Amino acid sequence: MPRQREPGPSEGRKSGSPARPLGIQRRLTPGRTAAAAALRQLGTPYVWGGGSGRGPTRGGFDCSGLALHAWSKAGVRLTHYTGSQFRQGRRVPFSQLRAGDLVFFGGGSGDPTHVGVYLEDGTMVHAPKTGDVVRTVDFAGSSYYRARYRGAVRPSTR
């Protein structure tokens, strides 16, 4: 009997709805640990400047605070600034993205202005903006995010 494939986090749901982290929990790597930690924050409010290694602060997370928190669960310390996080690890081509990689957007020629935690199949979990909550989005399928994509980084676990 052929083995059935488990659905990924982006299958069978509408954009922005909670993801099922089945694919992320196959083999625990630092990246999968970070992705799972970020997914546990789904629904947490966006708060500018919010987030630490321990969890939400000021009642929530901003985008870089969510990334910082997620990677702290994998034992990696990141700064709480998107531009610095963009320089904290090895650049990764889009075709080689893995769960937990940080994906960056916006900022023109300066520092990126937004970061998310990659899941799989072109999806990320992120803290989007004031008035919103931590959610998932198919950024690879979004013309908005594709136009603003700046690159990805795999934080160093050494």
User: pLDDT digit string (tens) for 69-95?
Assistant: 999 999 999 999 999 999 999 999 999
At 157 the pLDDT is 82
pLDDT value for 21:
52
The pLDDT value recorded for residue 62 is 99
Q: Which residues of the chain have pLDDT under 70?
A: 1-26
Angle between helices 30-39 and 63-72 (to 10 degrees): 130
81 HSE (CA, 13 A, CB side): 4
In the prediction, which pLDDT does 10 show? 37
> Is this model's pTM higher than 0.85 or not?
no
- CA-CA-CA-CA dihedral for 124, 121, 152, 54, to nearest 10: 40
Residues with a catalytic annotation lie at 63, 114, 126
Q: According to the model, what pLDDT value does residue 129 have? A: 98
For domain 23-154, the CATH superfamily is endopeptidase domain like (from Nostoc punctiforme) (3.90.1720.10)
For residue 112, the number of C-alpha atoms closer than 13 Å in the C-beta half-sphere is 24
Residue 27 has a pLDDT of: 72
